[in-house]
Amino acid sequence: MKDEKITIIEGPTPTFELVNDVWANGIIEGPTLANVAVTRLRTFNGQALVERCYRAWNSREPINLEFRDSAGLTMEVPIVAARSADGNDGQLLLLWVRLPEDEVEYEFTFQDENEIFDDEDDFDDIDFEDENEDEDDFDEDDFDLSA
C-alpha cells in the first residue's frame, strides 16, 4: 500500500520544536537515534487530518508530513502523533514527528545579563500562597533563630 501523507501546499517551512516529554521516548523506539518534535499548522480541516492519521495507524501503515524546506527541497518526516485544536486564528493541527538525529539543528539565544533583572514584575500575577495553608499553622516557636 502507498504511504499516506499530509502535504503542506503553501505557506512557510514549518518550524519544529523538540519535545522532551517522557511519553515521546516510548513512541520513537527503533534501531536509529531520533527525536520527537512538534509543529503547529493552521488548517481548515484539522479533525479530518487527525482521522486520516488514526486510520493509517490502525491499519499499521505509516503516515508522513511532506513539506518544502528552506532551500525548496521536498522533505518527508514520519508523523507519530496528531491533535486538532481551535486557536485564535482558526483551527490548528498539531503534529508530532520523528526527526532523525542528523536532521536536528539547535538554535541558541542568549539574553543580555542586564535584561535578566529588568522585568521585576514578572511574578506579580502569580499567587504563591497555598490555598490549603492556614495562616495559623506557622508557629515561630518551632524554629530556633538564635544560632
103-142 pLDDT per residue, tens: 666 666 676 666 655 555 554 555 545 555 555 554 555 5
Residue whose C-alpha cell is 522533505: 75
Residue 44 lies in a domain: yes
Residue 53 lies in a domain: yes
The residue-averaged pLDDT of 18-30 equals: 76
| Tally of domains in the chain | 1
- For residue 97, the enclosing domain spans 4-103
Strands 90-100 and 74-87: antiparallel
Q: Which three cell numbers stand for residue 65?
A: 508530513
* 114, β-bridge pairs: none
The CATH number assigned to the domain holding 75 equals 2.40.30
